[in-house]
Structure 1
Amino acid sequence: MANYNLTYGKKSQLEFQNEDDLFFTIGFLTKADTFMLKWEHNEQQGAWGSEGRIHVLQMPNNYPAPLKSAHTKGVGKVQFRINCNSFLKLLQDLGFVRNTKSQNLQTIRSNIPPKYKASFDKGCTA
Structure 2
Amino acid sequence: MYKQSFGSRKQIQFANEQEFYVFLGYLAKSNGNTSLVWEHNENQGAWGSEGRIQIHVDNIPRLWQITLTAGNGGNIKSRINCNEFVKNICTEHGFVYGGIQNVDQILLTIPPQYLEDFYAGLHLE
Q: Does the TM-score normalized on the shorter chain lie above 0.5?
A: yes
Return the offset for 1:15.
Answer: 0.7
TM-score when scaled to structure 1?
Answer: 0.89
| Per-residue deviation, residues 82-101 of structure 1 (Å, max 9, x unmatched) | 00001101110201110x22
Across the two proteins, how many residue pairs are aligned to each other? 121
2:21 paired with 1:46:
no
CA distance in 2, matches of 1:60, 1:123: 15
CA distance in 2, matches of 1:95, 1:31: 13
Identify the residue that residue 88 of structure 1 maps to in structure 2. 86
2:75 paired with 1:71:
no
CA distance in 2, matches of 1:18, 1:124: 18
**Per the alignment, in what secondary structure is the counterpart of residue 48 of structure 1?**
coil
Return the offset for 1:14.
Answer: 0.6
CA distance in 1, matches of 2:58, 2:106: 22
Moved over 4 A (4+): none
1:1-126 to structure 2, matched below 5 A, reads 4-32=2-30, 33-60=32-59, 63-66=61-64, 69-75=66-72, 76-93=74-91, 94-98=93-97, 100-126=98-124
Return the offset for 1:60.
Answer: 4.9
CA distance in 1, matches of 2:99, 2:10: 26
Q: What is the letter of the counterpart of residue 23 of structure 1?
A: Y
CA distance in 2, matches of 1:15, 1:43: 27
Q: What is the letter of the counterpart of residue 122 of structure 2?
A: C
CA distance in 1, matches of 2:40, 2:3: 26
**Per the alignment, in what secondary structure is the counterpart of residue 47 of structure 1?**
coil
Instruction: Report % sequence identity.
Output: 39
Q: Evaluate the alpha carbon distance shift between residue 37 and residue 79 of structure 1 in structure 2; reply closer, same or farther with a 3 A threshold.
A: same
CA distance in 1, matches of 2:109, 2:21: 11
**Per the alignment, in what secondary structure is the counterpart of residue 23 of structure 2?**
helix
CA distance in 2, matches of 1:89, 1:112: 16
**Per the alignment, in what secondary structure is the counterpart of residue 112 of structure 1?**
coil
- Which ranges in structure 1 are unaligned for 5 or more consecutive residues? none
CA distance in 2, matches of 1:106, 1:60: 26
